[in-house]
Structure 1
Amino acid sequence: MVSQLTTDGEGLRLFFTDDIYLVKEPEGTLNEEVQVYVKDEASSPAQPLIVNEPIIPLVKVQPEFKFLGNNNRNILILVYDEHNDVSDERGRELLRKIVKSINLTASDFALLNYAKYKEASYEQLKARFSSVIVFAFGVSSQQLGLKQHPENTVVTEGEVKLIFSSALQKLDEDANGKKVLWGSLKQLGL
C-alpha cells in the first residue's frame, strides 16, 4: 500500500491555496488566544481565524562556561583578560599570591575569564557556580548587571559576598589597592 502522506511542496500547494499571515501580538502568557489571518481570494480583506494554541515562551540557554578549578567551596574568581587565558605572568603570580594568602587551593574555587563571557549576568554565574564568595578582578559590578560597588571592599548581594577589584596587571602596580584588598580579604575569614 502506498502512503498517502506527503511533504512535497508542490503536492501540498494543491490542498493549501490560501495565504496565511501570523500577526505578532504583544507578549502574553501561555494559553493565550492567537489570531491568524487567512486571505481568501473570494473576499478582499483578510479574515481572522481564531486559534487557541499555547504560546511557548523562549527559554534562554545558559552558556557553557569553561573554567579552571573544582569549585568545591563555591568560590568564584573572575578575571578579565582579552589576550590570555587568565592573565599575563605578573597577573598570574599576583593571583597565586592572593589565593595562597587566604589558604585556597585550585580545588576550592572556579577561575573564569569573563572576557570570553561578556554577556553573562551575575544571575547566570550565581546559578552555574552556586557561589558564596565572588572575587572579580577587572570585572565591574555594572558588567554583571549589579549596582555600582566600590573597589577592594566586601559587599553583599543576597547571601553572596563579593569583592570587586581592578584587573590583575593594574592591581599589581597599585600598592595602596593591594593593601586595601588585603584588609578586605582578612574580613572574609577564609
Structure 2
Amino acid sequence: MKVDNPQAFRFIMQDEIYLLNKDKGVNITPPATAPVVTDKPEPATATAEVTEQPAQVAAVVKEQFVSPPQPAAVAAPTPQPVIQTVEAEFNYLGKNNKNFLVLVNYTAETHIADTHLAALQSILKRKDLDLDDVAILNVNKYAPVKLAALAAFFAPTRLVIMGKDALPVGIGNLPLNQPLQGKKTHVLYSFSFDEMMSSNDNKKIFWEHMKTL
C-alpha cells in the first residue's frame, strides 16, 4: 500500500510503531560505554616505575657500598737532622797574639825542627815580634788541612806558607815569593826551611819579602 502523506499512518498504525523517536519527543541517551579493562599497565605508570627503580637502587648501593671520598692524608714533614759544625782543634806552637800564622810541614817533628825554630825566631825578632805573637802549625799532622778551617780557628791577618808541602787545601795557585794582599790576610808563599838553609840566596829572598808583611 502506498501512502503519500506520512500523517496518514496515524489512522492505520499505532504511534509506537510508525513514529521515530525524534517525532515522539523522547530523548534517548545511549548507554554509557563501559571502560575497556586491559591487563597491560598504563604507559605513564610503567614509565614512572622504570624511572624510579634504578634511581632508588643506585641510592641504596651508594649508601651501603660507596664511601664518601676521604681527604688525602698529609704526611708530616720529616724532621731534618741538625748538622753541627765542629770547630777544628789545632795543636800549634806560640800564642797567636798578633794573628800571624806560619805553616810548615814536618814528618818527624811535633811542630818544627829546633834549628829551624831558632832561625825563624831570629827573623821575627828583626820584625819586633816574638814567639807569643805567632802560631806555628805543622800541617803534616792534619793533612789535608783546609784553608777555611785555618781561617775560622786562627783568623790570621798574616799568613806565611813555608814550602809547597805546607799549602792548605782551597788556597788556589799562589805565585812563589810574591806577597799577596787579600781582603783580610796578607799571604806569602815561600821556600821551606830545608830549601833556605842550604842557600843564602833563598834566605835573602825570604827575608826581603818577610819585611813587607
Q: TM-score, normalised by structure 1?
A: 0.65
**1:91 pairs with one of 106, 116, 138:** 116
What is the alpha-carbon root mean square deviation over aligned residues? 2.2
State yes or no: 1:159 paired with 2:205: no
What is the Cα deviation at residue 93 of structure 1?
2.5
**1:75 pairs with one of 97, 100, 112:** 100
The percent of aligned pairs where both chains have the same amino acid is 25
What is the Cα deviation at residue 152 of structure 1?
2.4
Residue 160 of structure 2 corresponds to which residue in structure 1? 135
Q: 1:124-165 deviations in whole A, cap 9, x for unaligned?
A: 111111110011113558533111112222113322001112
Q: 1:90-132 deviations in whole A, cap 9, x for unaligned?
A: 3223222222222211221111111111132111111111110
State yes or no: 1:181 paired with 2:212: no
In 1, Cα distance between the equivalents of 2:112 and 2:127? 20
What is the Cα deviation at residue 50 of structure 1?
4.2
In 2, Cα distance between the equivalents of 1:158 and 1:57? 32
What is the Cα deviation at residue 178 of structure 1?
1.7
Contact 2:175–2:189 under 8 Å retained in 1? yes
Bigger strand share: 1
Contact 1:76–1:109 under 8 Å retained in 2? yes
State yes or no: 1:100 paired with 2:125: yes
Q: 1:12-44 deviations in whole A, cap 9, x for unaligned?
A: xxxxxxxxxxxxxxxxxxxxxxxxxxxxxxxxx
**1:109 pairs with one of 134, 139, 158:** 134
Contact 2:191–2:206 under 8 Å retained in 1? no
In 2, Cα distance between the equivalents of 1:88 and 1:140? 16
Q: Which residues of 2 match residues 41-60 of structure 1 at below 5 A?
A: 50-56=75-81, 58-60=83-85
Q: Look at both structures and tell me which one has the larger radius of gyration over its CA atoms.
A: 2
In structure 2, relative to structure 1, the CA distance for the partners of 1:131 and 1:96 (3 Å cut) is same
In 2, Cα distance between the equivalents of 1:174 and 1:151? 16
**Gapped runs of 5+ residues in structure 1?**
1-48
Residue 8 of structure 2 corresponds to which residue in structure 1? none
Q: Which moved more, 1:92-101 or 1:120-129?
A: 92-101
- What number of residue pairs does the alignment pair up? 140
In 2, Cα distance between the equivalents of 1:107 and 1:140? 25
Q: TM-score, normalised by structure 2?
A: 0.58
**1:147 pairs with one of 153, 157, 172:** 172
What is the Cα deviation at residue 87 of structure 1?
2.8
In 1, Cα distance between the equivalents of 2:167 and 2:109? 23
